[in-house]
Amino acid sequence: MLKKILVAFDGSQQSNKAFDFALDMSGLCAGAISELIVISVVQPPEPADIVEVDAIIDSATQHYEELFKELKEKAKEKGMAIKTEVLVGHPADQIVRYAKDQNCDVIVLGRKGKSRVERWLLGSVSKRVSSYASCTVIIVK
């Protein structure tokens, strides 16, 4: 039974689609879903300088908190409340870790994020999450 849905959100068009999908899914399973959680992951540069790391975490957190407001409004229109959190680290690792720690039943994420260069250098986050997550993963196109 689906109790907790985790949405990985990076502000991209695809992640917005993923959120909308998760919201629709929650509506269909009304009464069953106890929690819809949205997380965003801030990835510091490497190798890093302490001042820059803090600056990036600071501004990214502020940026995502602003985006979360829109998501909360969307959820409110459908009579739902969402939990949001900003994590720090490698995106795929943090998503998988968070899902495991919070006992999420399904992870929903977009197929591709924002940057082609990042995908080329680091590999696809959605592929990595789907390979290593212990729960169901839904990749939204």
Partner 1 sequence: MHEVWGIAALWLGLALIATLLSIWFRIATALSEIVVGTVAQLVIGALIGTTLGSDQSWIKFLSGTGAIVLTFLAGAELDPVVFKVKLKEASAIGFISFLAPFLGCTAAAYYLLHWTVQASWLAGVALSTTSVAVVYAVMLELGLNKTDFGKAVLAACFVTDLGTVLSLGLIFAPFTFRTLIFVGAGAVIFFILPYLTPWFFKKYGDRPSELEAKYLLLFLFGLGSLAVWSDSEAVLPAYIIGMVLAGTVGKDHVLIRRLRTLTFGLLTPFYFIRAGSYVSVPALIAAPAAILVLFLSKIITKIAGVYPATKAFDYAQKEGVYTTLLMSTGLTFGSISALFGLTHNIISQEQYSVLVFVVIGSAVVPTLIANAFFIPKYLLPKKAERYETTD
Q: Which is nearer to partner 1, 84 or 94 (CB)?
A: 94
CB of 53 to partner 1, least distance (A): 5
Q: With binding defined as CB under 8 A, does residue 85 bind partner 1? A: no
Q: With binding defined as CB under 8 A, does residue 118 bind partner 1? A: yes
Closest CA to 130 of 98, 104, 106: 106
Closest CA to 36 of 52, 48, 53, 19: 19
Closest CA to 113 of 25, 22, 16, 46: 16
List of residues contacting partner 1 (CB under 8 A): 43-55, 57-58, 88-90, 93-94, 96-97, 100, 115, 117-118, 121-122, 132, 134
